[in-house]
A and B are shown apart, each in its own frame.
Chain A
Amino acid sequence: MKAKNLLFTIAAGLLPFSGHAAEQPRPGDDIEVIKKAALGIDTLIASFYRKKNLPVPAVTDDATFIRRAFLVGTGRIPTAEEALSFLEIEDDTKRAALVQYLVNSPGYSSHMSNWAFDLLRLRDTKSGGYNFQAYRHWVRTAMQDNVPWDEFVEQLLSSSGNGWDPETASVGYYTIDRGMPLDNLANSMRIFLGTYMECAQCHDDPFGDTERMDFYSLAAFTEGQSELNAGAFRKIYGEARENRVEDPLAFRVANFINDEVYGLSLSGGGDGRIKLPSDYQYRDGSPGEMVGGRTPFGKSVRTSDRDNDGQGREKLAEWVITKTGPQFPGVIANRMWERIMGKGIYEPVDQYIDSDKTVYPELTRYITQVMVDLDYDLRAFQHVLLLTKTFQFATNPNPSTLVGGDDFHGRKIERLTSEQLWDSLITLSDGNPDLKPIRKPDMRVNLAGTILANTDIVTFTDEFLSMKTEKEVRARFNELMDMVGGGKKGKNNRGSDDDMMMGGSTGNSYGKDAPVRASELPSPAPQDHFLYTFGASGREVVGDASLEPNVGQVLTMMNGFVQRKLVNNNGAHLYKSLQGADTDEERIRRVYVAILNRPPNKEELDWMLEELDAQGEDGFRNIVSALVMSSEFLFLQ
């Protein structure tokens, strides 16, 4: 069987429904475009080696390739079946076919979602009970639908409306930082444009050229992030708060409406002007003075200090995406390069430098152009990188010889991220995790323990957010109190089972120990979780994930989760897949392919056979345990 046929057969069953891609053809849909771009990169890298008079690294073997491509492209190791089907085919095109399979598999979007959640600091909730599952789902779906990066960023930065409505749930980008719009803006500049402006929140940056006035002039665009029509509810909430002891139920209901309805909404469109803070200390402005919007670099965009612009956020988004020259496409191209190649062309990837100042300006410019030519199609862009010979270079155990960037000299060894490790371990314990449905938000209205019938959370919240007067809101509030059993009429509207069917989708969620992809688990991982131990981001700040080793990780491998879920678990998928293997050699071989995605060498086979001789069935567990604890399992080569 030809490689393509086989892999596409596997792929056919797994292809996600992709609403966006189906709408209109994109440049990256054409495989020839992808191939050409990949060749362009390889040509540049080859000339780099020629110019520096360096030997070109060898191309890695199939076993290393499939493991690397799976982990980098989809965030997990291949299943034994996937690994075997690849290793046993002899066909020149099989690597290209595999890459195509990977970027189109559900694993691709799961892996990308972890990346996006880290970048956006996306937590399920924040203190005070705010619930960001609709926003989370919006991001998760955008990754699944492969929404182009410029469109994605535009929808985040210019958002407004109801946080529960799937059309406007991207307001979570702002509401997750409610009360701290300046930090939010500093983060936007950092993650989308690779510009650090944090310092200038308080003072002129002594090391850069950003002044405090620049920061405030930019913050003018996003100023004015209120809740939709929340004024109509304020007094009712105040009363409920005051009477919280006498009427705790009313307080709970009011809290829900405050946090989950108003609290998740975003009004206006950005004032375009802002007051300088009370401690403003420079001569170019005075505390309390109103200043208009002015962008700090690129093609200048301005708004007036005299009136409320109302479209500040849209203008900011447009500036970021279309008026900063190569910076916007350059930052995301380098981020994707880091994701796929292991090291960014420059690092840190969130400190943009001009292509001329990078170690290889031609390459930096080239990949920036590819990003633009592909219309910011991140899936296609990663497809290009995965298809290059550069991606296939053999492993180089030495750190990059260049401080702050890639030396293009072979794949650097790096420990798997916490998510890659988790996703790989559950692949061994429970089989292909990409066959399980993704997490979906609960769209029912759960009001102080009562599920409301005949409505769903979008309808429910829309209703409140459109009410302009306190009278209307109060009437609705009292009605709700009746429904939940707090009013005079008692619990007359509690939904029966039949009614519940009308009450919005129950969604789909997983507990923290569920053997599903890290992208579907609670975010951030709780502190007693495997993901936490292995350095998953707490998602309070950007780039908080860590690959640092610690003794807790080793204990988990030797005694904890790995032993319970895999080594000592008779029901583990890994053991089931051994059924039908007749000989010890065959069983050892299968275990090797499942865990390390390669057959054992002669020396290893002898060690393992000895182990079985000495220990029988126990020996088999010892083998599995040793393989999972090995550095080869823990590190990406």
Chain B
Amino acid sequence: MKQFLNKADEPTRRQFMTNAARAYLGVHLFPMLGPSIASAAAEGASKGAKAKHVIYLYMAGGMSHLDTFDPKPANKENMGPVKTIQSVADVELSEYLPNTAKVTDKMCIINSLTSTQGAHEQGNYMMHTSYSPRGTITHPALGSWVMKLGGKLHPELPGFVTINSGAKAGNGGFFGAKYSAAPIGRPTDGLQDSTKPNVVTDESFDRRLALADKLNTQFHSRYQNTDVKAYEELYKDAISLMNSEDLKAFDLGQEDSATRKLYGDGQFAQGCLLARRLVEHKVRFVEVQLGGWDTHVDNFTAVAARCKEFDQAYAALLTDLEKRGLLKDTLVVVATEFGRSPEIKSNHKDGRDHHPSAFSCVLAGGGVNGGQKYGETDKGGNKVVRDKVTVPDFNATIAYALGLPHDLVLMSPSKRPFQIADKGTPVTSIFG
């Protein structure tokens, strides 16, 4: 077994997955392509494994848990001016989330996240990869792992797309460029440059590629290099993408104005809508980022503004997915790198600092039971007091929802062992 783990190339992977699935999922054989593990697992023992897609909404900068999903109405000192509202399914939320309050019946709010990383870069890296950053290796992002373990669902569209995200959010790491995300800068622009310029004829276009190919073949014969090779493969991917019937998945112009309005105007809102379109067209993993949560200064003004961007779009996304029958197989994740200090810093215009020891994330759809809170923090929102969930546990739960083997070990090219969620254990009790 060890021998074929060393190199995770395509045929080995197939063999290895078969074995892994046998051991882990209690199934014997399943086809490599298509829904692969997810569908195999659904027939197997796991009661998760209902999700095929993930929409991962990342609140960059560290979202204040007290002012959003873990309010402490009895603790005036820590809450400052923020009031609490009741929602459907009897779940308390901050007043900044009035629309979200109408869809809590679909949500499982996890209040007991805890991270060991209190700085942005490290915290963000940890959420995205389950590992602490190391100088000697780049760990693949969660979306890359999902592609690696679960495969693409659409032959031409990318399996992993990031919207409004930083340069490293979609990093394929040691899996290579094939597993990295296709980044979308502005969702309203769709996938930029995905059509041939009008002035170029089909013939010219083909001739250019043929000529470039000749030059590249010559270059590769001189320099065998994996990074160089990766670009050549990307050209092939890009061309099949350009020719795909489903390229329209990226075009928000195809949505009627009522739907666009339902989500709201901002780039994040339109990003959520684009994520829905992509999932509809069988894209596996879509990340949409909303930045600006680093509210050291003037926390309440800033959080209110961030929540305004988030709230309408998120509620619309869950409602819309459900209406289209997509919510049951789409796991919608709300994640962030850490929470914010319950203590309000009056010398920074009522700011809040980083707080990795307790924070909140949310799961919805994809087989998760709605209308629940999981875990609990103390009366001040400082520490987790019940059902602690580490970052690897959280990511293992996402893998579990997809029916992916979270404890499967893959070897990096440098022959070191890694798992999709490090050594995390999934929280299985939240699934129906």
Contacts and interface: CB of A to CB of B under 8 A. Distances in A.
Contacts of B302: 127-128
Given A552-B192, A630-B215, A532 B185 contact: yes
B4 interface: no
Interface string B164-197: 1011101110000100111111100101111111
Nearest to A618: B204
Nearest to A624: B208
A604 B191 CA distance: 34
Interface stretch (A82-90, A246-254, A543-551): A543-551
A236 to B, nearest CB: 15
Contact of B182 (A348, A544, A551, A568): A551
Interface stretch (A106-114, A452-460, A533-541): A533-541
B211 A550 contact: no
Contact of A528 (B177, B186, B227, B353): B186
Contacts of B357: 202, 279
B183 A533 contact: yes
Contacts of B192: 528, 533, 552, 555-556, 560
B119 A559 contact: no
Most chain A CB neighbours (cut-off 10 Å) among B168, B182, B241, B351: B168
Interface string A267-293: 000000000001100000000000000
B177 A550 contact: yes
B223 A615 contact: no
A292 B271 CA distance: 48
Interface string A509-542: 0000000000000000011110011011110111
Contacts of B181: 550
B231 A634 contact: yes
Contacts of A11: none
B429 interface: no
Interface residues of B, number: 81
Contacts of A629: 208-209, 212, 235
A566 to B, nearest CB: 12
A583 interface: no
A637 interface: yes
Given A198-B117, A198-B119, A527-B164, 9 more contacts: A179-B351, A278-B343, A397-B228, A549-B231, A553-B234, A558-B209, A621-B200, A622-B207, A632-B219
B135 interface: yes
A621 B241 CA distance: 24
Contact of B167 (A182, A535, A559, A621): A535
A581 B278 CA distance: 50
A627 interface: yes
Given A556-B193, A629-B208, A630-B215, A526 B185 contact: yes
**Could you say which of A398, A404, A623, A629 has the most chain B C-beta atoms within 10 Å of its C-beta?**
A629
Nearest to B170: A550
A618 B201 contact: yes
Nearest to B133: A348
A184 to B, nearest CB: 11
Given A542-B121, A545-B167, A635 B228 contact: yes
Contacts of B201: 618
Contacts of B209: 558, 626, 629
26 contacts: A128-B297, A180-B294, A182-B353, A186-B119, A198-B119, A202-B357, A279-B382, A397-B228, A404-B135, A415-B227, A529-B185, A544-B168, A549-B177, A550-B180, A552-B192, A558-B196, A563-B197, A622-B204, A622-B207, A622-B211, A625-B211, A629-B209, A629-B235, A631-B216, A631-B220, A632-B215
Interface in B89-142: 117-122, 124, 135-136
